Structure 1
Amino acid sequence: MSTAAKIPLIDISATGGDAQAKVAQELVEAAVEHGFVYIRNTGADIPVEAVENAFELGKKIFRAPVEEKQKCIIQENNRGWSSMNYETLDPAHQRVGDFKEAFNFGEFVDGKAQQPLPESFKPYESQAAAFYDHCYNLALKLNHLIGIGLAVTPPTFFYDRHRREFGPSGNILRLLYYPPLSALTTTTTTNTSPQATQEDVRAGAHSDYGSITLLFRLRGQAGLEVDTSGTTTTTTTTNPTSTAWAPVPVTPPGTESDPAPPILVNIGDLLSYWTNGLLRSTVHRVVFPPPGGEGNGIEGETGNEPRYSIAFFCHPVGKTTLEVVPSERVKNHKPSGEFTKRGGNPDAERKAITADEHLQMRLRASYKQMYDETKKE
């Protein structure tokens, strides 16, 4: 049986000065040490029913006719439909693109998406907008806690730079669908993607782009792994042969009786870059678990069924300049040599770039096909 990743579990519902400060410190220490943290989901921040409904929305959008989804193909603004094998998160080590399908929602205005939607999904537009708002508000809360935990001056530093009233951002609500391996081992008229093997991945090894990511998963659905080798604070993927992959349980010990699995939160490249490498942006991937039984060695989890997940990628307002954070802990942190060499820094020396510039740099690496096609026009 595989050894599960040791990721802290935190309850952020505490209120009041001392209690809030303790939670904030726990959150920051988890971000420094692991880059990942479980947030207990009791329904206080996001109603359990809202999460359940969001998963139903995901199933609806992926069941939409291909012809409808093709009219919503993902664009350079990172919004829209990404078909099977279109995105390649680890191009250096993947023979084909990711075995997943995704739909990215950008901001909503008055409950309306600012992008094309599949015709059959339009009746559910307001529900998607409501869930986007739930995620946005939780992300704001977490950014505020990180500011407190880092003793930033003022403590609302991160909170203020993520508020949408100050301008548009790269925030994305992403619905994801991963077919089981059994559905991808033959090529048919209904499945024209390359045949998959046990060695292929559903989502290549990568680190996320933005400030923080909120990840929602369904009980029993295996596949997510994190690199625990100690060299995962990198924005370029590591060599899979030198990594130490550990599965991330959907329901870690102590949460079995909770009304919903905890929300998995991880630090993105931008926040790691912004804090000079103090907060860790950890490499992770989604694999095809071995068939049958406990697919990834975690009790109660298998890879025999389709896997659905939901991610909210939180970004600062696009015009935000990623200058050194006004925190003594950040200023005193000495990044490792590995950090100064990695692809998240556009130069060997650290420099202030905007949040939008940082995002575009990362998108070009993941969607080479899209950007190459743009060049040819």
Structure 2
Amino acid sequence: MAKPSAQIPVIDISPANAHAATQLLDAAANNGFVFIENNAAAAMPPTAVGNMFDLSKQFFQSPIENKQECPTQNNRGWVSMQQETLDPGNQKRGDFKEAFNLGEFSGSTPNQPLPEPLSTHVDTVAGFSHSCHALCNKLLQLFAEALEIPSDWFSSRHDQSKGASGSIMRLLYYPSVPDSLGQDEDDIRAGAHSDYGTLTLLFQLPGQPGLEIKTPAGTWESVPVDPHGTLSTDPSKPLPILVNIGDLLAYWTNGLLKSTVHRVIFPKDAKRGGEDRYSMAYFCHPLDDAELIPVPSKRVEQYEGGVEGVKKGGKTLTAKDHLLERLAATYGTKA
């Protein structure tokens, strides 16, 4: 039986929508996910999104020797099949996916080795990464407006000119499952988890569902790829961009904004093994030394949450502290 579809609002963040800031805050407070119309205000042209998907497909379909040229180091590089376990407490095996993590760029210069075809299209990759970061800052400024705090409270903590951060552009490939895999092992492509950073932008392709979010009641609801349901009548219409709240916005707002647990499964109505699935996620992180302290907002002060700041051993954790702890759990290593 198909799971119910999550009711996630679609918001236009252009100046024509005077209520964009409050709509964003309400969506983030209610379920932690929101769709953003991919229009001029989002500044993520469909051609740019399509070009990145093309490069991603070329990379993942390349020989394994090409991928092995850039193994995972410091959360950058190629993540091999089942190398990650996003829900180690409940998963029997690692995630059935591959990924390639791209860190920050200095202009168009990558701060890590890149394999083909990414290495020969650096300008395309860097430009897309910069556009994602710019969109995240625009969203963070809208959140600041809705919370009635200085407009740069969040964005100043994400200013990459001031230092390093954990921001990652992640290319993802979820292959169909081989028929040899056990019937009880083919349901999870990416284990249940919340995202580690501030915001995540997710780019999806038509006809490739599988993302689910966990409701407050503990049940799972599917996330539509096409929330408007208009691709069948207008295939040229760009898909909205899915945005979800990460752990750090939850910490900064004492839980007012929800870092919602989600996972990727093989759709139950698909044939055995499902279809190949590609997606791209931009994980926006603040500067490494940004402290996880509550924002100076009256609405946050009045909210009866339970994650006000994060301390360990009497010390307020930084964004980097939190990231290293989450990565250690994912890869089964010590932080």
TM-score between both structures, scaled by the size of structure 2:
0.92
Cα distance in structure 2, aligned partners of 1:43 and 1:98 = 36
Q: For 1:268-347, what aligned pairs fall within 5 Å after superposition?
A: 268-292=246-270, 304-336=274-306, 345=310, 347=312
How far residue 121 of structure 1 moved from its aligned partner, in angstroms, is: 3.4
Tell me how far apart the structure 2 counterparts of residues 175 and 46 of structure 1 sit (CA, whole Å): 16
Q: Verify the 8 A CA contact 1:223 1:289 in the aligned structure 2.
A: yes
Q: 1:51 aligns with which of 33, 49, 52?
A: 49
**Does residue 86 of structure 2 align to residue 89 of structure 1?**
yes
Aligned residues: 330
Q: Classify the secondary structure of the residue corresponding to 1:41.
A: coil
Q: Quote the residue 1:10 is aligned against.
A: 11
1:198, 1:288 within 8 Å by CA — same for their partners in 2? no
**Pair 255,335 (structure 1): closer, same or farther in 2 beyond 3 Å:** farther
Q: How does 1:30-109 map to 2 (within 5 A)?
A: 30-44=27-41, 45-75=43-73, 77-109=74-106
Structure 1 residue 71 displacement after superposition: 2.3
Do 1:223 and 1:247's aligned partners in 2 also have CA atoms closer than 8 Å? yes
Structure 1 residues 225 and 59: CA distance shift in structure 2, 3 A: same
Task: Name 1:252's counterpart in structure 2.
Answer: 227
The percent of aligned pairs where both chains have the same amino acid is 49
* AA of the residue aligned to 1:356: K
Q: Structure 1 residues 86, 224: closer, same or farther in 2, change over 3 A?
A: same
- Verify the 8 A CA contact 1:60 1:121 in the aligned structure 2: no
**Secondary structure at 1:216's aligned position in 2?**
strand
Unaligned stretches of 5+ residues in structure 2: none
C-alpha distance 142-255 of structure 1, shift in aligned 2 (>3 A): farther
1:73–1:317: structure 2 CA closer, same or farther, 3 Å change rule? same
Counterpart contact for 1:85–1:98, Cα < 8 Å: yes
CA deviations on 1:291-330 (whole Å, 9 max, x unpaired) are 547x9xxxxxxx7421000000001111112222111111
Normalised TM-score (structure 1)? 0.82
User: Could you give the per-residue CA deviations for residues 22-65 of structure 1, whole angstroms, max 9, x where no partner exists?
Assistant: 21010001000010001111354211110111111110111222
Q: 1:155 Cα shift?
A: 2.2
Structure 2 CA distance for aligned equivalents of residues 139 and 177 of structure 1: 23
